[in-house]
Amino acid sequence: MTTGTEPMLMRRDRGRAWRLSPRRLATLLTNLPPGAISLAAAAEMLQHENFNLRYHAATMLSQRGDREARLIMERALHHPDAPVRASVARHLDGFSWFVAEPMLRKALQDADARVREGAVYTLCNIGSAPALHLLTEVLVDEEDDVLQAAAIGLRKRTTPDAVPVLELTLNAVDPMVRGRALESLGANQTHEAAAVVRKALLDDPDPDVQYDAMQSLVELLADGVLREVPDLIDGSSGLYRHARLRGLLHACNYVGVSIETSPHCEKILAALADCSHDESERVRLQTTYLLAWIKHPRATEILEQAVAAEADEVLKAQMMSIGVSLGAIAVD
């Protein structure tokens, strides 16, 4: 019996039956074992317009990895909707390489970049020698979104066989994609990666990419990079010099590289002394940060001379503030 004063949440519309939304169904799938759902239902969900439903259906079929699941995935690769094909291409890593390779090759020839991108992520997840070799074949002259998939997919790979793939991603037009590739190379921790990063640092036309390359080189070589620093500074100018100085400071700070205790400290300080008189205000200001950060008497001396010689009063005040805040210049 109801009184009519119950909260509105207690009332139900008798004319509407309760239905499970696609999003809630996708959430339920995450808690079910792969064999708990019929293949017919999985095939229907794989073609649904809801992304989450397609994602989890493809995941379950990949986890099954049997003949029936393979046939469903193969048929879905011929679906007219690109999102369906992309969902399949992204979840082929549950099958053996013998089974997955033909489907991956088909996905990599798809006209829609999203499908190729999904296949690239899958190849990165597989990570076997044949998978990485296939990546080196298909990434030549690829679109930036597909190249970015390889850069992200191999970001935790610490073996030399990933380096040729990541080197191809440096051919991207978008500087942000090249920056992502350099981040992955910096985490690779191999000598082969260091050679590729060094080349990007010297040749890339974008200062922001050179900044990323400088950080990655420090991550790869640690204290060993300091031997190269004087030449890297002297061989640059303008925005490129500013980018290299900034990358050096940031990476040495978070990696824990100590310049003041290095046998190459004097040469680095000599290069920084030249930078303190650079025609670019940005370079002079960035040099101030480095000199104030390096706890060495000669660095302090160069910094004080640079502050005294600075003609721009606003920049001079900034340099003084940096020196004081980092403890390089004492305040009377």
Query: What is the largest distance, in Å, between two alpha-carbon atoms of the chain?
Result: 91
Average pLDDT, the chain: 92
Radius of gyration of the chain (CA): 28
The single residue listed with the structure tokens 């690829």 is 142
Read off the DSSP letter of residue 298: H
d(CA 77, CA 60): 16
The pTM assigned to this predicted structure is: 0.87
Query: Where do the domains of the chain lie, and which CATH numbers do they carry?
Result: 47-138 (1.25.10.10), 155-257 (1.25.10), 269-332 (1.25.10)
Nearest to residue 245, comparing CAs of 313, 189, 253? 253
CA 319/CA 313 separation, integer angstroms: 10
Q: Which of 320, 175, 193 is nearest to 243 (CA)?
A: 175
Backbone phi, then psi, for 159, in 5-degree steps?
-125, 155
Per-residue pLDDT averaged across 147-158, rounded? 96
Distance between CA atoms of residues 278 and 63, nearest Å: 60
State residue 74's pLDDT score: 96
- Model pLDDT, residue 119: 98
Q: Tokens for 189?
A: 């921790």
Q: 4 or 36: whose pLDDT is higher? A: 36
Please tell me the distance from the alpha carbon of residue 167 to that of residue 182, in angstroms, as a whole number. 9
* Predicted pLDDT at 18: 53
